[in-house]
């Protein structure tokens, strides 16, 4: 019990100068908290801007390697890799997802050869590879759970064998974590980590990402039968518990800022490594406000990162990682 009160207790004394504010600061953002999501495209010497995501680009493998070398030099510990699959390779069953010579696998190998010490996190889901834009197989309008899990296991194993450090299933199929863990372990990939998108919500903030991977034009319907209802919190705790029981090593909450309460609940309850995805729509609206002069970009993005750390996140996947790393270095 704190009995002191004004005027003997003046909280402003601890805000009176920069050095004392820094001294009593409760939460800090470090470069090692940042995961940088990157988009890779086929071809050579190609860099494509994304209209809905200012300052974010798609890179061919040769240019992406150079960008990752620079990111590593800044101190960024890991990247999250997302491929842009050519339309002619998209099929209803997403078979390109487990082709050992697909764009994702070639990018993993090239980056690992050039920057062996940076972590590579790979997305396990079918939406970049399906002609219908969904994360699973479809039959009579229904997303098929168990047949999709079989393909996700093939995809995860292919990525692990290519050199991925962390497999990140973002599909939200039931039972996929246990199945993927068993598949990896049976095939001498027991050291590969699983970062589960255990609480991935059916959010309105994913639009620019779908532009980036060019899946928005082919998406039929929505993803509400497998991604979570934004109104639900207890359900997220069930999802996380199941994934941890099945062998997940770390948990991702997606999106980030609208779900800070979920981050806090997961961290408080399970005390496992928990990450936030500062998703494309969150980044895009902040960037647009700053580009219009309505907000200060450096201050706003840093405040955003602090909010994730305050909520309990161990780290953040953010498109602003490079900007943040440069600011933190300075």
**Which of the following is catalytic: 90, 223, 254, 309?**
254
Q: Stretch 81-109: mean pLDDT, rounded?
A: 96
- Contact (CB, 8 A) for 264 and 237: no
Tokens 């961290």 belong to 267
pLDDT at residue 216, rounded to an integer = 63
200 part of the active site: yes
Tell me: cis bond preceding 204? Omega within 30 of 0 counts: no
pLDDT at residue 219, rounded to an integer = 75
- Say how far apart CA 121 and CA 165 lie, in whole Å: 6
Question: pLDDT (tens digit, 9 = 90+) per residue, 37-52?
Answer: 999 999 999 999 999 9
Give pTM, 2 decimals. Answer: 0.95
Residue 215 pLDDT exceeds 90: no
- In order of start, what are the domains of the chain with their CATH numbers? 29-329 (3.20.20.70)
pLDDT at residue 217, rounded to an integer = 65
Residue 54 pLDDT exceeds 80: yes
- Say how far apart CA 14 and CA 22 lie, in whole Å: 10
**How would you class 128 by CB atoms within 10 Å of its CB: exposed for 0-12, middle for 13-18, buried for 19 or more?**
buried
**Which of the following is catalytic: 200, 223, 267, 309?**
200
Which residues lie closer than 8 Å to 40 by C-beta, 6 or more apart? 58, 59, 60, 61, 64, 81, 82, 83, 84, 103, 104, 107
Residue 33 pLDDT exceeds 80: yes
109 part of the active site: no
| 318 C-beta neighbours (distance < 10 Å), count | 26
End-to-end distance of the chain based on CA atoms, in angstroms?
41
Question: pLDDT (tens digit, 9 = 90+) per residue, 252-298?
Answer: 999 999 999 999 999 999 999 999 999 999 999 999 999 999 999 99
Question: pLDDT (tens digit, 9 = 90+) per residue, 97-121?
Answer: 999 999 999 999 999 999 999 999 9
């Amino acid at each position: 019990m704190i009995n002191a009160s004004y005027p003997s207790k003046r909280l402003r004394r601890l805000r009176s100068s920069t050095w004392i504010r820094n001294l009593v600061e409760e939460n800090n953002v470090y470069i090692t908290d940042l995961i940088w999501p990157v988009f890779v495209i086929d071809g050579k010497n190609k860099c494509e801007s994304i209209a809905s995501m200012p300052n974010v680009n798609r890179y061919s493998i040769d240019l992406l390697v150079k960008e990752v070398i620079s990111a590593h030099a800044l101190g960024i510990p890991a990247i999250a890799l997302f491929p842009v699959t050519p339309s002619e390779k998209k099929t209803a069953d997403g078979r390109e997802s487990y082709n050992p010579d697909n764009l994702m696998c070639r990018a993993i190998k090239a980056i690992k050869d050039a920057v062996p010490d940076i972590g590579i996190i790979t997305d396990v889901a079918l939406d970049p590879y399906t002609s219908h834009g969904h994360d699973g197989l479809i039959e009579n309008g229904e997303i098929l759970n168990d047949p999709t899990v079989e393909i996700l296991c093939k995809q995860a194993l292919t990525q692990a064998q290519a050199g991925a450090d962390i497999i990140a299933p973002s599909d939200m199929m039931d039972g996929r974590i246990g199945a993927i863990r068993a598949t990896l372990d049976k095939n001498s990939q027991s050291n590969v980590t699983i970062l589960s998108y255990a609480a991935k919500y059916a959010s309105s903030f994913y639009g620019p990402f779908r532009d980036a991977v060019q899946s928005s034009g082919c998406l039929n319907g929505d993803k509400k039968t497998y991604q979570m209802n934004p109104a639900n919190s207890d359900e997220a705790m069930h999802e996380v518990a199941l994934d941890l029981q099945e062998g997940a090593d770390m948990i991702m909450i997606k999106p980030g800022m609208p779900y800070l309460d979920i981050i806090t609940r997961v961290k408080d309850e399970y005390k496992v490594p928990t990450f936030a995805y500062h998703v494309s729509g969150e980044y895009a609206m902040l960037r647009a406000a700053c580009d219009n002069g309505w907000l200060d970009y450096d201050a706003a993005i840093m405040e955003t990162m602090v909010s994730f750390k305050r909520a309990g996140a161990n780290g953040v996947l953010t498109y602003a990682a490079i900007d943040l790393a440069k600011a933190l270095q300075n």
